[in-house]
Amino acid sequence: MILKVENLTKSFGGLRAVNEVNFEVKKGDIHAIIGPNGAGKSTFFNLISGFHRPTSGTIMFKGEDITKMPANKIAKLGIARTFQTTNLFEDETVLDNLIIGNRLRTKSGLFDAILRTKREKREEMESIQKAYDALEFMEISDLSDERIGNITQEQKKRVAFALALTTDPELVLLDEPAAGVNPGETDGLSTLIKKMAESGLTVCLIEHKMSMIMSLADRIVVLNQGARIAEGTPKEIQNNPVVIEAYLGSEEDEPVKV
């Protein structure tokens, strides 16, 4: 198991946004996290990536306890994440976004980021090379000099994926990778996610688009009101009465609002 989460809990005041969740991910798998709005999915990602400190429970990554590690250290160990709405600099180019983003994620502070030692310069050259490699992987090399403000939502999603790749991750956490893109573009993003897994990466993704999840995921975990209510293959989840009751009752491809 590349990731092993035990009894993970995060309370915000009196609210248990994540409640005693157990979760295991096998290396190379695509593991989806689904659940109604407010189920705790984003908070769960924030805990794994170190953006929030858990109230209790443990998170093990490659056998190492990362429960209390800061986000930049977790990024260096090999976990990268994307955000629901792409948090890119609209006025900068695609390439600059990857270079800046990479440094913001892996440096511990502003001082570290601006101190230009010889080692820093070498690392900067490396981050430029990594940015080009990531753009090629995401099939958007031709966009490197475009301003983010000039590209489509789907292209921004690809840039967000590329940004995650620049930190050399082994596990990528994708938060609603297909939100706000049309069905044809969703298929293209699905292909890219499969390509990531085929290249050896492990992928966890939060997504509301059920048809995408069902065709893409090796396993699915279902959260409801912070708690894990089911876990299994897409087929098992589709036939699970508890899940149908809590979540899949709607005929539509969108989540049930609670």
Ligand X SMILES: Nc1ncnc2c1ncn2[C@@H]1O[C@H](COP(=O)(O)OP(=O)(O)OP(=O)(O)O)[C@@H](O)[C@H]1O
- Measured from the CB atom, the residue of 85 and 239 that comes closer to ligand X is 85
Amino acid 117 reads T
Q: How far apart are CA 254 and CA 258, in angstroms?
A: 12
Neighbours of 185 (CB within 10 A): 17
Contact in structure between 150 and 91 (CB atoms under 8 Å) = no
- Measured from the CB atom, the residue of 40 and 140 that comes closer to ligand X is 40
- Measured from the CB atom, the residue of 12 and 89 that comes closer to ligand X is 12
Residue bearing tokens 């990479």: 102
- Measured from the CB atom, the residue of 16 and 76 that comes closer to ligand X is 16
> What residue ranges bind ligand X (CB under 6 A)?
12, 15, 17, 35, 37-43
CA distances from 121 to 104, 113, 115, 125 (A): 15, 11, 10, 6
Shortest Cβ 41–ligand X spacing (Å): 3
Shortest Cβ 79–ligand X spacing (Å): 18
Neighbours of 257 (CB within 10 A): 8
Shortest Cβ 56–ligand X spacing (Å): 16
Shortest Cβ 71–ligand X spacing (Å): 15
Shortest Cβ 246–ligand X spacing (Å): 13
Strand order in the sheet with 15-25: 15-25, 3-12, 56-61, 64-65
Residue bearing tokens 């990857």: 98
- Measured from the CB atom, the residue of 41 and 81 that comes closer to ligand X is 41
